Structure 1
Amino acid sequence: MNIVGVRIDGRLVHGQVANLWTPKLQADRIIVLDEQIINDNIQKSGLRMATPRTTHLSVLDYKTAADHLLNDRYGTQRLLLVAKRPKEFLDLIDEGVKIDSINVGTMSQTNTTQMITKQINVEQEDIKVFDELNAKGVHLFAQLNPSVEAHDFMKLLNDKINR
């Protein structure tokens, strides 16, 4: 596995991922983990349009992604994994995929989320998943784009959430 980046971003592939993170990480392939988009050709088409021309795109569920990653399907390609929520990455880890760190990017605000930063809003379930990821030794950091400073996400989370 040649995972060069793992990012949570509710927008999946968009300007920041396509134009900033992909070149910064020199990613050859973006793997989007999303079970709903797999069967939605319109959304997949939109993701393909947003993906840089020199970069491959895969839209997979976590079980298929784990199988492909663990069986070295992508060879020497540099991989950027993106999902809307942290649960997909916890599921990947539980399938045996090694993830050292996760960049917590944009998570949109809804009427059921709690604001951590202007860009990061979490559901109660997300908090539990972040705690599990942290307990498994995954470094969680918040960094909107490569030109800004990274922050310890668990510190941001713990400062905002009453436990």
Structure 2
Amino acid sequence: MDVRLLRIDSRLLHGQVATNWVKAAKVDRILVVSDGVAKDELRKVLIRQATPPGTKVNVIPINKMLRVYQDVRFAGLKVMVLVECPLDAQRLIESGIRINSINIGSLSFSMGRRMVTDTIAVNQTDVEAFTWLHNRGIQLETRKVSTDSKRDLWKALRENGLVKKTV
């Protein structure tokens, strides 16, 4: 399986993802990987409705993603993987999904979260997951759409005093 884009976005699939990222990443299929959403029929219906015509979407739990990633029947599949939080991205990579960068779209603000960009709010669990990812050489880039300039999330975390500067 060729993971063309791994995106963290608390909104999962929405207009920007459906219209821009699918074309930019040249994917055959969108995989929404979420234990919670996989059990929620209403959210699955809404995700299917947001999918662009001609693009297939599957909503699957994390463990199933790990199984299909290794399955030779899906070797030629070009996918965009959407997860809701950094911890889910960490779980995928810890279990063998190979990627060099992660796109972070939006992490919604709520109590206990701190805004680090205009669209990304993090809590301590997020910072720990991003640190784990960064320490493995994975680029953490923020862009709403593919035509936006890449911004380094790690730099934003440092500037906000959430991680230590490295030499």
The normalised TM-score by structure 2 is 0.93
CA–CA distance in structure 2, aligned partners of residues 72 and 3 of structure 1: 14
Once the two structures are TM-superposed, the CA of residue 75 in structure 1 deviates from its matched residue by 3.3
2:133, 2:2 → 1: CA distance? Answer: 20
Aligned twin of 2:148: 148
Conserved? CA contact 1:63–1:95, under 8 Å? no
Amino acid at match of 1:40: D
Distance 1:66 1:72 in 2: 12
Q: Which residue identity is paired with 1:4?
A: R
Distance in 2, matches of 1:136 and 1:100, equals 9
Q: Partner of 1:67 in structure 2?
A: 67
Q: CA deviation at 1:155?
A: 0.7
* 1:4 match: 4
Give runs of aligned pairs for residues 9-158 of structure 1, distance below 5 A. 9-158=9-158
Deviations 1:17-48 (A, max 9, x none): 10111111111111111111111111100000
RMSD between superposed Cα atoms in Å: 1.2
Stretches of 4+ aligned residues off by more than 6 angstroms: none
Provide the rounded CA distance (Å) in 1 between the counterparts of 2:120 and 2:161.
13
Gaps of 5+ in 1: none
Q: Decide whether the 8 Å contact of 1:115 with 1:121 is kept in 2.
A: yes
Instruction: State, as a whole percentage, how many aligned pairs show the same letter.
Output: 29
Within 2, Cα distance between the matches of 1:90 and 1:162?
Answer: 18
Q: Provide the secondary structure at the position in 2 that maps to 1:36.
A: helix
Residue aligned with 2:140, SS: strand
SS in 2 for 1:105: strand
Count, aligned residues: 163
Structure 1 residue 61 displacement after superposition: 1.6
Contact 2:127/2:162, CA 8 A, preserved across alignment: no
**Kindly tell me: are residues 161 and 42 of structure 1, through their superposed partners in 2, closer, same or farther at Cα, counting changes over 3 Å?**
same
2: distance between equivalents of 1:158 and 1:76? Answer: 38
SS at the partner of 1:66? helix
